[in-house]
Amino acid sequence: MSDASPGAPAPAAPPAPAAGWASPPPSDAAVPRKRRGWIVALVLALGTIAAFAIAGTALFATRTLPPYQGAYDFLDDVTAGHEQDAIDRLCAADRDDPEAAFSELGSRLDFGARVTVNFLGVDRDDDHATVEYQIDPPGTAVGTSYDLPMRKEGGDWLACPGASLR
């Protein structure tokens, strides 16, 4: 017995594929895997960038930051009028005659002038460094840049603005 009722049309056969559109016959060759070499290259590039960032930060923290911080603290004490604190931040060569050490620096400062220390302007050579700072006069005038000699003594970076190092 047939499931088809008498007089019902017979089911249609699937259409034959058009020429050129037939699927390729199955192959015994291995299917190539997707290439992921770009992921390895990306991870290596990001790792290199991270290594440079860590090395740069370490060098900045150990080589540039200490003389910069010493110059910043010294100039902050000078501009704030903390005379004894500023004298304590002088190198031994200038501590004996602080008046001479401050004379040149004091002649550059005007009342209301703003002093900015440039952390990118640190030039360090072993236990000596120069730190660039800028004095901006009151108003809109553009300031002038100067170099502050620094010396490492007893583990601290001390300012040597006097003529003793010249």
Tokens read off for 125: 């050579």
* CB distance 128 to 151 below 8 Å: yes
The pLDDT value given to residue 6: 64
Burial zone of 151 (CB within 10 Å; 0-12 exposed, 13-18 middle, 19+ buried): buried
Please tell me which residue, 63 or 89, carries the higher pLDDT value. Answer: 89
User: pTM to 2 decimals?
Assistant: 0.66
Q: For 82-139, how does the pLDDT look when each residue is reduced to its tens digit (9 = 90+)? A: 889 999 999 988 888 888 888 877 777 777 778 889 988 899 888 999 999 998 887 7
Q: For 28-57, how does the pLDDT look when each residue is reduced to its tens digit (9 = 90+)? A: 566 666 777 889 999 999 999 999 999 988
* CB distance 94 to 74 below 8 Å: no
The H-assigned helical ranges of the chain are: 37-59, 65-80, 83-88, 92-95, 98-108
